[in-house]
Amino acid sequence: AEVATLPDVYLYTVDELREVIQVGIKSRQEAALLAEEIIDVQVGNFMGWIQSLDAVSTIRAYRQQAELLRDQACELAFQQLAAGKPPEEILKLLAHTLTNKLLHTPTAQLRQAGIAGRADLLEAARRLFDLNIKEER
C-alpha cells in the first residue's frame, strides 16, 4: 500500500483491474456486434450484386435488339429525307415505326400470356413496365 504514496506511481487493486477488464470486454463485445451488423449489410449488398449479374446478359440482349430496331427505323427515315419528304412527316413516321417495332414482341407475348392464363407473367410485366392499371374485362 505504501507504493501508492510514491510520486508518478499508480496503484491498482485487483478489483480495479477486474473492472477495467470488464469494461474492455464489454467494449469489444459491442464492437463485435457492430462489426457483425456491418458484415450482414455488406453480405446482403454483395449477394444482391451477384444476383444482378444473372440479368446482365438479358439486359445486354434487350438493349442490342432495341438499338437494331432504332438503326433500322433511322435508316428508313434517312432514305425518306433523301427522297425529299417533309421532315415533320418523317419524324411522325419514325416515332410511329419505332414504337410499333419496340412494342410488337412484348405485346404478342403478353397476349399469349393472357390466353394461357399466365397471371404471373402479366403481373411481372406490370412491374417491369411500371404499369399501375386495374384489370379490365
C-alpha gyration radius of the chain? 34
What does the pLDDT look like over 7-50, one tens digit per residue?
888 888 889 899 999 999 999 999 999 999 999 999 999 999 88
Q: Would you state the pLDDT for residue 55?
A: 86
Residue 98 near residue 70 (C-beta atoms within 8 A): yes
Provide the grid cell at 71: 438503326
Report, as an integer, the average pLDDT of 111-127. Answer: 94
Q: Would you state the pLDDT for residue 137?
A: 56
CA distances from 87 to 80, 92, 132, 133 (A): 9, 9, 35, 36
pTM, full prediction: 0.56
Q: Would you state the pLDDT for residue 43?
A: 96
CA atoms within 13 A on the CB side of 127: 6
What does the pLDDT look like over 47-105, one tens digit per residue?
998 888 888 888 899 999 999 999 999 999 999 999 999 999 999 999 999 999 999 99
Give the integer Cα–Cα distance in Å for 102 and 95.
11
Report, as an integer, the average pLDDT of 112-116. Answer: 95
Provide the grid cell at 113: 400470356
